[in-house]
A = this chain, B = another copy of it.
Amino acid sequence: MIDYMKEAIKEAIKAGKKGEIPVGAVIVYNGKIIARGRNKREKTQNALLHAEIVAINKACKKLHSWRLENADIYVTLEPCPMCAGAISNARIKRVFYSASDNSDSREIIDKIFSSTRLNHKVELIQGEYQTESSKLLSDFFKSKRLSRKNKNAV
């Protein structure tokens, strides 16, 4: 059986190697991964290109539909409000996330996923590999701080 969160982590690692905040996502439909995404904000200089957005974009193209009903998304970090809104607009059924975001956005995404606006509720589930996904992020920020410190010391 495919370990979907592990596949999302592979995407996060690729993002980190390109100098992006390491977040990855996959969209699963009928037991198959139909789209993969990783954070591309810095390289593209596009505020929209979080891992989830990249994956939703591809999934809509793949299914020729803006309705991703019965699809699930696996993402290595709890979604931000933009991505939570996109997941809800795309009628995705369930979100499995790995690392927690630890900001005040949890209350916001809970409200987005339970909103009556669209007659669609999204289920939010914390999945596996929390330590791995969090470590990817903390290592990334640690190396960024270190590289800034070294630059300033020159």
Residues of A within 8 A of B (CB): 41-42, 44-48, 50, 53, 56-57, 60-61, 64-68, 80-86, 88-91, 103-105, 107-108, 111-112, 115-117
Contact B86 A103 (CB under 8 A): no
Contact B103 A116 (CB under 8 A): yes
* Number of identical protomers: 2
Q: Which B residues lie within 8 Å of A67 (CB)? A: 47
Q: Give the contacting residue for A41; candidates B41, B66, B107, B115; CB below 8 A.
A: B66
Contact B82 A86 (CB under 8 A): yes
| Chain B min CB distance to A135 (Å) | 21
Please, how many angstroms separate the alpha-carbon atoms of A123 and B57 in the complex? 28
Contact A53 B46 (CB under 8 A): no
Contact A117 B104 (CB under 8 A): yes
CB nearest to A42 among chain B residues = B66
CB nearest to A41 among chain B residues = B66
Contact B86 A84 (CB under 8 A): no
Chosen A-B contacts, 11 in total, with CB atoms closer than 8 Å, are A44-B60, A45-B60, A45-B65, A45-B66, A47-B86, A48-B48, A48-B57, A48-B60, A81-B85, A104-B117, A107-B111
